[in-house]
A and B are shown apart, each in its own frame.
Chain A
Amino acid sequence: MQEWLEGLHPAILALIKVLLFVVPLLMLVPGLIWWERRLLSWMQDRIGPNRTGTITLKSGKKIKLFGLLQPIADGIKLFFKEDVTPNSIDRLIYFLAPAIALFPAFALGGTVPLGPSYGIYGLLTPIANVDIGVLYFLAISSLGVYGVVLGGYASNNKYSLMGGLRGSAQLISYELAMGVSLACIVMASGSLRLTDILKTQEQALWGAVPWLQNWFIFTPFGLLSAVIFGICMVAETNRVPFDLPEAENEIIAGYHTEYSSMKFAVYFMGEYAAMFVFSGIFATVFVGGYNLLPINWEYLMDSQWVGQFATLMHNLQYWLAPLVFLFKCAVGITFYIWFRATLPRLRYDQLMSLGWKNLLPTAVLNFIVVAIWILVTKIHSTLMGIVAGALAYVLLYFLFKSFLGATRDKPILQKRTLDYMPEPPKPQSNPVTGA
């Protein structure tokens, strides 16, 4: 198998890699929709779709598929529905916009490794092990703005336009914080290549515990970055609590109000595929990608006590790597659904102030701390580096707070008691009882 793959023309190998990524992604989207509907139902004390796909055999025996075919049935139905198009649209852009919205969801995963970088997985994943992995991902994810804003503009509907504008402002605001939060990780691992970021995570935990892996989520700066990236990730995919571009009770359905049949479904698919790939990137960058547990089995293989077990686990982990990765993506999706079931939608001013006044300064603070930590570690020692990092967190926190806090209370916003509001008159007698 491996020799055969190595002998192929690079373009054909590339096509195989791409199909191995795109086809499962296309097939997983209905599964995701099913999972969202079921899980949301359980969280809201309902049952959800559980009938579609029940096969009754001649003997009267029933084979149940838990409603797994529901989204597929919905998809086929949508294909054959009338494509209702208003007459005053911008025709070309109206047709292109859903495709532009779906495109980044598929192209996003181009640099994500789904398995170890040696053996057969090394040949098949990532699709392209380019040295600008993180940059490629950021570039493609910003293309998502176009689908939203063009769809909103082309529909010639005021609500669509509002949704498109909101969407574009939201996506670009959160993109900033996302980029800076990834910058910390790139600086700590010294490479933009996602496979190198993974290799950094497979080193000894905090440089001290060699049998554990140093996933970035276990380090203080990595945890902060992960929180910022996680919030931005939800905002980038227009999901609750950041689904203002499609807020039903304000602007009908936002930028896809005028879209029907499969074009609407394409927007929908784009959202779900993007959720999946974003979860995969979160898993790769912060929680060790295809590694199931943060344990260095290779280090333990030489041990007298657990050597054999470690060898077994090492081999198991090698062969199950894509499944483990899939599992981590599924956990990410489950969190998305959990957010949807738990959190109410933000107000627009809250959304913008969260992005610009909280997440972005926090990400920049984190970035500066990582730079100080790396520098002091190199000049002095590991201990001094940690102390300097902690001190820098405290100092910079107060510095930023006072600096940015100066923007909060402008003279025009001084509070004054509302002395002009009239007191409501007190009733002399109760009009109902007459007492």
Chain B
Amino acid sequence: MNSDFTPILVLVGVAATVCAAMVTLSWVLGPKKVTPYKQAPYECGVAPLGDARERFPIKFYLVAMLFILFDIEVVFLWSWLTVFKNAPVDYQVFSFWAVMIYMVLWVIGDAYVLRVNAIDWDEATSLAPEKLVDSPAISLTQAPRDAQKLASESNS
């Protein structure tokens, strides 16, 4: 076994013990008086409606996918980062251009992700309605104009 990592193992063991002890102690020490109200989920004091494990926005999944893609791309770089500075010059020049090509691909990927609005969190719908002019959602707000037109026609 690599002795460099022995302390890490000990640290992980101690940390896990402390965490487990904390969680178990409160469970052992506290009183237990169960009532139906205490057992209900707390949703602002209103009686909870249905199960909480519902569908949630796909955006979160998309962000997780993007994280894995971009994070792995950074992980590939770590080994190069450690050797780049103290390497011989010809290797440095060669690997520099290789990494630059890699980074260009990276930037194109990032720009594409931004281009398809993969990380836009519907700012437009709530706070900047003027950005939504051509989207189908606007048809709801078209009503006032028709009402106004009707009103002006009836006046004349």
Contact = CB atoms under 8 A, between A and B. Distances in A.
Interface string A225-267: 0000000000000000000000000001000011001110110
Interface in B115-129: 115, 117, 119-124, 127, 129
11 contacts: A15-B14, A17-B10, A79-B25, A82-B30, A82-B31, A102-B15, A128-B11, A156-B51, A179-B74, A266-B26, A422-B145
A26 B18 contact: yes
A379 B56 contact: no
Contacts of B119: 173, 352-353, 356-357
B14 A22 contact: yes
Nearest to B122: A349
A173 B64 CA distance: 8
Interface of A: 10-11, 13-15, 17-19, 21-22, 26, 78-88, 95-96, 98-100, 102-103, 106-107, 110, 127-131, 135-136, 153, 155-162, 165, 168-169, 172-173, 175-176, 179-180, 183, 186-192, 252, 257-258, 261-263, 265-266, 269, 347-350, 352-353, 356-357, 360-361, 364, 367-368, 371-372, 374-375, 378-379, 400, 403-404, 406-407, 410-416, 418-422
B41 A98 contact: no
A207 to B, nearest CB: 13
A378 B52 contact: no
Interface string B82-100: 1111100100110010011
Contacts of A13: 7
B82 A186 contact: yes
B147 interface: yes
Given A19-B14, A168-B64, A379-B89, 19 more contacts: A15-B10, A80-B29, A87-B39, A102-B15, A107-B15, A159-B43, A175-B67, A183-B78, A192-B81, A252-B43, A266-B19, A347-B127, A349-B121, A349-B123, A353-B123, A356-B119, A406-B111, A410-B117, A418-B130
Interface residues of B, number: 89
A17 B7 CA distance: 8
A59 B144 CA distance: 80
A404 B114 contact: yes
Contacts, number: 278
Contacts of A374: 84-85, 92
A376 B146 CA distance: 66
Nearest to B42: A257
Contacts of B135: 412
Contact of B30 (A14, A83, A347, A414): A83
A414 B51 CA distance: 40
B134 to A, nearest CB: 5
A99 B23 contact: yes
Interface in B98-156: 99-100, 103, 106-107, 110-111, 113-115, 117, 119-124, 127, 129-131, 133-135, 141-142, 144-145, 147-148
A375 B134 CA distance: 49
Contacts of A350: 123
Contacts of A372: 96
Contact of A82 (B8, B33, B54, B56): B33
Contacts of B89: 378-379
Given A79-B29, A102-B19, A368-B100, A110 B11 contact: yes
B11 to A, nearest CB: 5
Nearest to A264: B26
Contacts of A155: 41, 52
